[in-house]
Structure 1
C-alpha cells in the first residue's frame, strides 16, 4: 500500500507507491517531454548537444533532464555532453553523486584522517610503556 504525498510539480495529492515521484498527470506530461527531448537527440547533428542547448530548443526544465540522466533514461554513452550536477561542487558528472575531483578529494581526506588516527594510536601505545620500580 502506498502513502499519500503532494506532487512536487503541481501540488496535487497522489498515492505514492515508490515507482513515480510525481502524480499520474505530471508523469504523463514528463513522458511527453521526454519523448520530445529524445526525438531531438536522436538526430545525428544533435547528439552532442549540451544541457543548455536542449533546454533552449525543447523548453524542458533543466532539472528534469538531470533526473533522466541520473535514472539512466538518457545515457551519457550515447549523448556525451549530458550529465548531472555533482552534489558537492555542481560540476557535471555521469555517475554517482560526486564528480571525479570531489571523489578524489574525499579519498585523500579520508586517507589523511586514517593516517592521523593511526599516528595517535601509535603514540598512545608508546605512552603505555611498562614502568619498573626498584622495590625490594
Structure 2
C-alpha cells in the first residue's frame, strides 16, 4: 500500500508544499493574511483611500494590492477608490480584467468582424447558387 502526496511548488516562494485550496505554502498564506489585515486596518481608518494610499499606509506594494483585488482577497464594494488595472490600457477597473472603454471597443470590433463574416458567407452562398 502506497501513500500518494499531492505536492506542488509555491508560486510565491518556490518551496514545495502539500496542495491546498489557496495553492500556496503555509508561510506565504500567513504572509498574505498579514498583508490583507494591514490593508484592511488602514482602510477601516479611511475607506476612501486609493491603492497607492492604502499601500503606503499598510506598507504593501501597489501591485500586490492589485493582485489581491484580482484574486478576490480584497473586496471592493466597501472601498470606492480601490481598483484593479485594465489588462490592455492600465486604466482603473472595479470589475473584471478590462475597463469599460476597452470592453466596449473589443465588443465593437467583434461585431464588425461578425458582420464582415456574414457578408462573405452570403456572397459565397449567392455565387454557389447562381450557377
CA contact (8 A) 2:70 2:84 kept: yes
- Indicate which of 16, 19, 39 corresponds to 1:13: 16
Specify every segment of 5 or more residues in structure 2 that has no aligned partner in the other structure, as ranges.
Answer: none
1:1-136 correspondence runs (5 A): 3-17=6-20, 19-43=21-45, 46-131=46-131
Name the larger-Rg structure.
1
Output the CA distance in 2 between the equivalents of 1:90 and 1:39.
Answer: 27
Change (3 A) 1:47 1:2: farther
Output the CA distance in 1 between the equivalents of 2:62 and 2:119.
Answer: 47
Output the CA distance in 1 between the equivalents of 2:87 and 2:23.
Answer: 20
Q: What RMSD, in angstroms, separates the aligned Cα atoms of the two structures?
A: 1.9
CA contact (8 A) 2:89 2:102 kept: yes
Q: Deviations over 1:87-132 (max 9, x none)?
A: 222222111221111111111011000100011011112212344x
3-state DSSP class of the match of 1:124? helix
TM-score (norm 1): 0.82
Specify every segment of 5 or more residues in structure 1 that has no aligned partner in the other structure, as ranges.
Answer: 132-136
Q: How many corresponding residue pairs?
A: 128
